[in-house]
Amino acid sequence: MNSQGRHKCAYSACECAVAAPESYCSDYCSDADGVRETEIQCDCKHTPCALD
């Protein structure tokens, strides 16, 4: 956690920062973290994870 109370989204493929006490930046990441599939890149639609 950094000085602004933000930390990385709990979904391993996601690059977003979330504010405490949240764990995920979106419902997409929360749902994807519960599935036992490997993603190469997060598709939460937020800027840090925007698909090229």
CA distances from 15 to 6, 50 (A): 12, 10
Does some domain include residue 14? yes
Does some domain include residue 11? yes
The Cα 17–Cα 40 span in angstroms is 18
Q: Can you give the pTM of this predicted structure?
A: 0.80
Does some domain include residue 1? no
What is the tens place of the pLDDT at every residue in 2-43? 657 899 999 999 999 999 899 999 999 999 988 877 778 899
Query: Residue 15 in 3-state DSSP?
Result: coil
Does some domain include residue 15? yes
- What angle is formed at CA 43 by the lines to CA 34 and CA 3, rounded to 5 degrees? 80
Domain that holds residue 41: 6-49
Radius of gyration of the chain (CA): 11
Q: Structural domain tally of the chain?
A: 1
Does some domain include residue 19? yes
